[in-house]
Copies of this chain bind each other. A is one copy, B any other.
Amino acid sequence: MGELSIPIGKLARSVGCKVQTIRYYEQIGLLPPPIRTAGAQRRYGEGDQQKLSFIRHARELGFPLPAVRELLALSDEADSDCAKADGIARRQLEAVNRRIAMLSSLRSELERMLRHRHGHRIRECRVIATLADHALCSQDHHAELAES
């Protein structure tokens, strides 16, 4: 069935990224070097396709490459170093939850705007205030403005 051995361009199209991006990921060791044809062209398999698709989605969600690297490591580490995988999963889960919380409040605000717009005009737009709120975020820069 699906052991494809597709060239780089097809792989790029299948995940919606540029050819050079794939070569770049290989260069920085995020993707393993694929097999090559006699003429030194890259040929990819099913696994590569999945991995790359994962990387692209994670990047679109705003995870930095180090976090992506960690998440990728989860599947390699899973059945070797359980404790390590557990720690990574736990940490990334917290990050994911924070993102969801922020996006949820932004969503509510956008929905509110679209609902209230039917009246006639929006009196006040609270989109900025919604996401400006520090209550949901990780950093400890709350109340930094207090002293002096």
Interface band, chain A: 35 or more
A89 within 8 A of B: yes
Q: Does A36 contact B (CB under 8 A)?
A: no
Instruction: Say yes or no for A8: interface residue by CB 8 A criterion.
Output: no
Instruction: Judge whether A28 is part of the interface by a CB distance below 8 angstroms.
Output: no
Q: Does A131 sit at the interface, judged by CB under 8 A?
A: yes
Q: Is A127 an interface residue (CB 8 A)?
A: yes
A21 at the interface (CB under 8 A from B): no
Interface of A is mostly: helix
| A102-B61, A141-B16 as given contacts; A110 in contact with B93, CB under 8 Å | yes
A14 with B110: CB separation less than 8 A: no
When distances are taken between beta carbons in the complex, the residues of chain B under 8 Å from A144 are 10, 13-14
Residues on B with beta carbons closer than 8 Å to the beta carbon of A132: 49-51, 53-54, 57
Closest to A76 in B: B125
Give the distance in Å from the alpha carbon of A96 to the alpha carbon of B79 in the complex: 34
The answer to whether A125 touches B62, judged by C-beta atoms less than 8 angstroms apart, is no
Q: How many angstroms from the CA of A137 to the CA of B59 in the assembled complex?
A: 13
Q: Are B113 and A107 in contact (CB under 8 A)?
A: no
With contacts A62-B60, A96-B103, A97-B107 taken as known, whether A127 is within 8 angstroms of B71 at the C-beta atoms is yes
